[in-house]
Amino acid sequence: MPHPSLSICIPTYNFGKFIGQTLDSIIPNLTENIEVVILDGGSTDDTRSVVAQRQHDYQQIKYYRQEGRGGIDRDIAKVVSLARGEYCWLFSADDLMKAGAVDKVLHHIQSKCEIYLCEHTLCDFEMHPLRGHPIFNHISAPEIFQFSDASQRKRYFREARTSEAFFSFLSGPIFRRELWERSVGIPESFYGTCWALAGRLLSLVSDGLMMHYLAESLIYKRSGNDSFLEHGVVHRLRITVEGFGHISETIFGKNSYEHYHIRRVLRNERTLPHLLGMKLTVATSGQKEEKTALNQIVLKHYSDVGIVNRCKYLIFRMLPIASLKIGYALRKMLEKFMTPQGSTKAQLK
């Protein structure tokens, strides 16, 4: 096999019921200068056999298995170390690649930028397309950002709408493998946050990276399958607020422009209604320790100076559970009333 231009890197664990569909979406995109590198973190399901069925006909698919689960951060680092391509595209084992996506990436990487950033189309669990998911507020056309230019860097952080602008989504960035090798000195504390990918790439922003925003969706993303929820909603919120917050503060500094906007984006993604829903979930579970932990994380979430943050935190703490139950029941009734009889999610997209 010739030296590949692009390595599609898939870390996986017990996603046997999804990874076949993922590979089937990638296979039509394959050419001889593409490799698919799969790292199985010790799955106990049929992942190995599902992959083997595709390997039989496509030599570009490489499968590696480790006996112990390393965690997503270390598994990402391991699968990239196994890649041989000039560029790496990390890919979720339950998402789908759009037709022609690889050809577009191969065309773009000829410009030799260090990072390329694509968007995705959000789907339901059954992969019916729902909507686009813009990464920026007012940037909708392809654009190259040179982070060594202070004005471009500030505009990039200011315009960020989702944390995908900061490389939180596994399948979003395509990066030079040499870039990854330059970032090996990230703090050990980044491992275990579930955001070491973002930590590695963000740690190089101050070096003046050149990043090309493609402004195009190349992926169908499956919703309702968040593996980070395996330890509960409070732990999932902690990963976002404390984990990503730790990486941002460590790299850029607590009072930096960049850290401010990363925290702003995290609040946009974990909104007050979302947090109130978590409050209701925790209250009905009867777990006192979870309630205390949730209150502490939400306090940190809204700890930035500002009357809006202060008011949102007070609303979260003071709104009674009984009111939340009534509000939730009314919302479900309204959703049922607004949904035509016999409609499906695919029809409602």
Supply the pLDDT for residue 64. Answer: 97
Which domains, and CATH codes, for the chain? 6-227 (3.90.550.10), 231-338 (no CATH)
d(CA 55, CA 66): 18
Residue with the larger pLDDT of the pair 341 and 262: 262
Q: What is the pTM of this model?
A: 0.90
- Return the DSSP state at 98: P
User: Which band of pLDDT confidence, cut at 50, 70 and 90, is reported for residue 225?
Assistant: confident
In this prediction, what percent of the chain has a pLDDT beyond 90? 81
User: Which band of pLDDT confidence, cut at 50, 70 and 90, is reported for residue 343?
Assistant: very low
User: What pLDDT digit, counting tens, does each position of 7-36 carry?
Assistant: 999 999 999 999 999 999 999 999 889 999
Q: Which residues contact 117 (CB under 8 A, 6 or more apart)?
A: 135, 164, 165, 167, 172, 173, 174, 211, 212, 213, 214
Residue with the larger pLDDT of the pair 214 and 348: 214
- The answer to whether residue 347 scores a pLDDT higher than 50 is no
Using CB atoms within 10 Å of the CB of residue 309, give its burial: 0 to 12 exposed, 13 to 18 middle, 19+ buried: middle
Supply the pLDDT for residue 310. Answer: 95
d(CA 206, CA 140): 25
- The answer to whether residue 266 scores a pLDDT higher than 60 is yes
Q: Among the listed ranges 38-52, 196-210, 226-240, 293-307, which one has the minimum average pLDDT value?
A: 226-240
User: Which band of pLDDT confidence, cut at 50, 70 and 90, is reported for residue 230?
Assistant: confident
Is residue 36 within 8 Å of residue 23, measured between CB atoms? yes
Supply the pLDDT for residue 340. Answer: 54
Mean pLDDT in residue range 84-105: 97
User: What pLDDT digit, counting tens, does each position of 160-207 carry?
Assistant: 999 999 999 999 999 999 998 888 788 999 999 999 999 999 999 988
- What tokens were used for 100? 């022609």
**Helix 288-301 × helix 307-318 angle, to 10°:** 170
Q: Among the listed ranges 89-98, 102-111, 228-237, 309-318, which one has the minimum average pLDDT value?
A: 228-237
Mean pLDDT in residue range 306-327: 93
Mean pLDDT in residue range 131-155: 96
Mean pLDDT in residue range 86-102: 97
Mean pLDDT in residue range 208-222: 96
User: Which band of pLDDT confidence, cut at 50, 70 and 90, is reported for residue 344?
Assistant: very low
d(CA 8, CA 1): 15
- The answer to whether residue 339 scores a pLDDT higher than 80 is no
d(CA 236, CA 288): 17
